[in-house]
Amino acid sequence: MNLTWSHAVLNVRDLDSMLDFYTGVLGFEVTDRGPIADGAPEIVFLSQNPDEHHQLAMVAVRKDDDRPNSLNHVAFRTPDFADVKTLHDALQGIDGIRVGPISHGNTLSIYFNDPEGNGIEVFWDTPFHVSQPHGTPWDTSLDEEQALDWVRETFGADETFEPRDGYYERRRAAAGG
Ligand SMILES: [Fe+2]
């Protein structure tokens, strides 16, 4: 068995506002939508990975007003450091969205909530590995070079801090490939 992550499906209250946020702010595209059977609620599929039909889907069946309580957060990777900063700034101006930057040493991340309170992380990989968990707030006004200097200063004294390539080469070797 070699399972790879594909998608998550969220039960939502207000499909239109959730779709506005995920398409307009986060850049997802609706790849398909419709009821799964006659009379069943519509399911909307979202992706921004051309190799994945959907990374997220939403079904408007949620009735409660509670905070989501079983899923801590879903996380998305971006290859561009600048995206994390741009998104951080864009989220600041949206009512009801709280955003906070956290670095795990191996990432520079922002954490925020969607309009229905689901936790989201968007992160950029640093070229480093450090054992987890680690988490320290970082300054999103830094440029890429400054941010990487800060990561080295902040996490570099940990004995497990190393180049990310070395860590993942060992993981692949241990997995037999
Ligand atoms: Fe995470």
Q: In this structure, what is the dihedral angle of CA atoms 23, 48, 73, 25, given to the nearest 10 degrees?
A: -30
Last residue of a domain, one of 61, 82, 108: 61
Question: Using 50, 70 and 90 to split pLDDT, how confident is the model at 27?
Answer: very high
The reply to whether 107 and 57 lie within a common domain is no
Report how far ligand 1's centroid is from the alpha carbon of 111 (Å): 8
| Residue 2, pLDDT score | 84
Q: Are residues 127 and 163 in contact, defined by beta-carbon separation less than 8 angstroms?
A: yes
Residue 67 lies in a domain: no
Dihedral sign for Cα atoms in the order 7, 45, 65, 89: positive
Question: Considering its fold, how many domains does the chain have in total?
Answer: 2
The reply to whether 33 and 87 lie within a common domain is no
pLDDT one-digit tens code per residue, 109-130: 999 999 999 999 999 999 999 9
Last residue of a domain, one of 61, 86, 102: 61
Q: What residues does 32 pair with on adjacent strands?
A: 45
Q: The domain spanning residue 115 has which CATH number?
A: 3.30.720.110
Report how far ligand 1's centroid is from the alpha carbon of 73 (Å): 7
Report how far ligand 1's centroid is from the alpha carbon of 42 (Å): 29
Residue 66 lies in a domain: no
Alpha helices per DSSP H over the chain:
15-19, 81-92, 144-155, 164-174
- Tell me the residue range of the domain where 96 lies: 72-177
Amino acid 149 reads D
pLDDT one-digit tens code per residue, 9-25: 999 999 999 999 999 99
Report how far ligand 1's centroid is from the alpha carbon of 176 (Å): 26
Report how far ligand 1's centroid is from the alpha carbon of 37 (Å): 34
